[in-house]
Structures are given as structure tokens and as C-alpha cells.
Amino acid sequence: MSDTILEKMFSLQGKTVVLTGAGGILVGEMAMAAALCGANTVLLDISKNSGRKVVKAIKDKNAETIFLQCDVLNPKNLQDCCQKILDKYGRIDCLVNGAGGNRIEATTSETLSFFDISIKDLKQVLDLNFIGTMLPCQVFGKEIAKQKQGSIVNISSISGFRPLTCASAYAAGKAAIINFTKWLAVYICHNYSPQIRVNTIAPGFFVTEQNRFLLYDNLGQLTQRGQTILDKVPQKRFGMASELTGALVWLLSESSSFCTGAVITVDGGFNAFSGV
Ligand SMILES: NC(=O)c1ccc[n+]([C@@H]2O[C@H](COP(=O)([O-])OP(=O)(O)OC[C@H]3O[C@@H](n4cnc5c(N)ncnc54)[C@H](O)[C@@H]3O)[C@@H](O)[C@H]2O)c1
């Protein structure tokens, strides 16, 4: 296949792509991929330090990017960022909702029963993962709706299909993202434009700084939980952040023009495996 055909299929040239949680391991890698495919990438993260590190890495590759500090749970903050993006680039074509995560205070363990987790901690995890996806869809999605064209990609998790032990609020939040993605995909086609697509990526197990201690011990050996996970992954390994970028670029680009309301699992086969 010639470079021209590939470029036509997967190019993001001139598109403004907004990514939340872009200072993180997975979305940072996604931002880099979108920038290298020609997008003007706008990195939003609550953490200035981590967001700026990703911006520097992208700029070092001579690709276009800016960072804006943003809390996805703060509507005013989102509105201000939206205005700044429109002032700079004049339009918003794509949105990637990657801000998310779990909290130890909302995770059951030998010392914490589900019955004793505070409502505040449960709500924080549900809010970050679910409301933190809905609000950016409202603010940036409104601009995409005006343009009648674009792509929204929400980041769920394989725990959105079947919950993993210990993290009930996280799993519920990720399940809600899958449900909401389908709803928004239909709503936006019916009411705004069939050229706007809304899809979800459901990553499996990726080693990141946040979960490395759960998967490997100090000597670099798999923990029991790490081994239990790998026993259920037909491809017998954890994913690398770079292995999510193909699905992302495909969903952002015109290559996926007939794909909306879909959930794309990138999990080494985990979700397909019944265990037998
Ligand atoms: N790591 C995995 O194995 C895995 C698996 C499935 C799904 N996911 C999901 O993928 C996404 C990215 O995960 P990651 O591993 O890169 O996590 P990460 O912790 O490295 O990145 C998350 C980023 O979100 C930012 N953030 C947190 N709260 C925010 C807020 N209120 N507003 C804006 N930004 C905020 C953090 O500062 C951080 O930079 C998350 O939604 C996560 O739930 C991760």
C-alpha cells in the first residue's frame, strides 16, 4: 500500500484533537500518536507537571501541541479551555476522554470492607470516571455538534464488561461509560449529524506507574495478582501503551467512518476467554 493511501486513511492533518488525562501514561502515548498523524493536539490534565512533560515530548518530535490545565469535573474550567482552544485553532474535531482511575480508599482489601467505604470515596471514583467523561462530551461535544462532523472516543476498561475484584466503583463507572457511549452515538446522529461518531476503547491490562506495584514485586517478579491476570490473557502478556494507539488513530480518522457506538477491546483476548 502506498504512503498516500495510508495517509488518506489515517491522517489527522489539521484536525484539532482534545485529550483529557493527557498527562497520564496511556493518553500521553495516544496524544503523541495523534500529533504524529498531523493533529493539533490539545492536552488537558489536572496535573501541570505531567501534562507539560508530554507536551515537551511531542514538541521534541516537531509536532503541534499545547497544554491546558483542566479539571474534567469543573464545568467552568472546561468552558474556559474550550474558548482558549477555539481562539487558537478555530475548531474542535475530536475529543478523547481519558481522565480516569481508581482510588485505594474505594478499593476493598483485607482491611477495608465494601460496607465501610465512604460515600465520598465511592462518589469520587464514579464522578471522575463517568461524570468526568460526560461533562467534556457536553462542552466540547457541543462545538463538534455545531460543525456537524467529528469523532469522540471515550476510554472505558475491560472491567466495564465484567467487574474485577476489589474495585466496584471503578468498574461501575467504566460500565456507565460504555452505556453512555452508545446513547450519545445514537443521540448525536439523530439530532445533529450522522457524520459525528462516538466510540469507546476498553483497554485490558497495561503496566503503568499506578499499577506496577500490584503486578510486579521489587525484584521484578510477577505478583500473585499479576500471575492470575496473565493466566486469563490468551496472549500471555500485559499490553504496552503504544498498542492502544492503532485503535485510537483508526477511531479518530476517516477510516472508521461507518463505526459509531462501538466498544473496541484492546486486551490480548482477556474479555473473550471464558476460562475454559
Ligand atoms: N492502565 C491500565 O491498565 C488501564 C486499563 C483500562 C483502562 N484504563 C483507563 O485508561 C485511562 C488512562 O489510564 P492511565 O493508566 O494512563 O492512567 P494515569 O493515572 O497514568 O493517567 C490519568 C491522568 O488523568 C489525570 N486526571 C486525574 N483526575 C483528573 C481530573 N479531575 N481532571 C483532569 N485530569 C485528571 C491524572 O493527572 C493523570 O495524568 C483511564 O481512564 C483509566 O481508567 C487504564
Task: Pick the more confident residue, 8 or 50.
Answer: 50
| pLDDT tens by residue, 171-181 | 999 999 999 99
Q: Which of 160, 145, 181 is nearest to 261 (CA)?
A: 181
**From the alpha carbon of 132, which atom of ligand 1 is closest?**
31
Q: What is the mean pLDDT of the chain?
A: 96
The ranges assigned to domains in the chain are: 3-272
| pLDDT tens by residue, 240-271 | 999 999 999 999 999 999 999 999 999 999 99
Q: How far is the CA of 126 from the centre of ligand 1 (A)?
A: 13
Q: Which of 85, 107, 237 is nearest to 165 (CA)?
A: 107
| pLDDT tens by residue, 67-97 | 999 999 999 999 999 999 999 999 999 999 9
Domain 3-272 class? alpha beta
Cβ(68)–Cβ(43) below 8 Å? yes
- Specify the pLDDT at position 54: 98
**From the alpha carbon of 51, which atom of ligand 1 is closest?**
39
Q: Which of 95, 242, 241, 113 is nearest to 181 (CA)?
A: 95
- Using most ligand atoms within 8 A of CB, pick from 19, 45, 50 the residue to mutate for ligand 1: 45
Determine whether the shortest distance from the Cβ of 143 to ligand 1 is under 6 A. no
Q: What is the DSSP letter of 12?
A: -
Dist CA 68 CA 47 (whole Å): 10
- Specify the pLDDT at position 1: 58
Determine whether the shortest distance from the Cβ of 124 to ligand 1 is under 6 A. no
| pLDDT tens by residue, 114-142 | 999 999 999 999 999 999 999 999 999 99
Determine whether the shortest distance from the Cβ of 47 to ligand 1 is under 6 A. yes
Q: Kindly tell me if the per-residue pLDDT of 2 is higher than 80.
A: no
Indicate if the alpha-carbon torsion angle 142, 181, 256, 188 is positive or negative. Answer: negative
Determine whether the shortest distance from the Cβ of 155 to ligand 1 is under 6 A. yes
- Specify the pLDDT at position 211: 80
Residue 146 corresponds to which amino acid?
Answer: K
Q: How far is the CA of 3 from the centre of ligand 1 (A)?
A: 33
* Percent of all residues in the chain with a pLDDT value above 70, rounded to a whole number: 99
